[in-house]
Amino acid sequence: MNRLVLIKSLTLAGALPFMVACALKLGWFSFAGVDADNWLWTYALVISAFMAGSHWGIAIKSGDRFALLASNGFALAIFGVAVWLRTPLGIGLLILLFAAQLLVDRRLLALSLASDAYWRLRLQVTGIVCALLATYLLVAVSIP
């Protein structure tokens, strides 16, 4: 398999658990011992930390102080939201945090620290993730 096809496939597959969270919240199916909220928050924490780690790695290599500080700030922010704000407001903040992490990638693109292909893929998958989080939020506020 072509390396770029593999990267794109894995990146897009990373959005699937957000879709699963929506299906769990709607009650379309269930997993023993896992509710939709725990599924969503745990996975959101993992993915956001993964993105913060990506920014950290680029910052260490390039010396970009903004990306270095942003990576740490996002890791702490997502942790705080996941621990203390597992509410509809917190889901809204998740959307903002994922979108803000995308802005760090835009900066990295502008500094030639990320490729155009990477930027397009991040834009696509972040759009999908934010749409799925918004869907989850709508379901969460409409189901008592």
The torsion angle over the Cα atoms of residues 9, 91, 76 and 118, rounded to 10 degrees, is 30
- Indicate the angle between helix axes 116-142 and 88-110, nearest 10 degrees: 170
In this predicted structure, what is the pLDDT of residue 144?
63
Taken in order 85, 88, 94, 97, is the CA torsion positive or negative?
Answer: negative
pLDDT tens digits, one per residue of 13-36: 999 999 999 999 999 999 999 999
- Element (DSSP H or E) covering residue 60: helix 36-62
Q: Which domain holds residue 127?
A: 3-142
How many Å apart are CA 42 and CA 112, to the nearest integer? 32
How many Å apart are CA 23 and CA 29, to the nearest integer? 7
How many Å apart are CA 85 and CA 79, to the nearest integer? 10
How many domains does one find in the chain? 1
pTM over 0.85: yes
pLDDT tens digits, one per residue of 35-93: 999 999 999 999 999 999 999 999 999 999 999 999 999 999 999 999 999 999 999 99
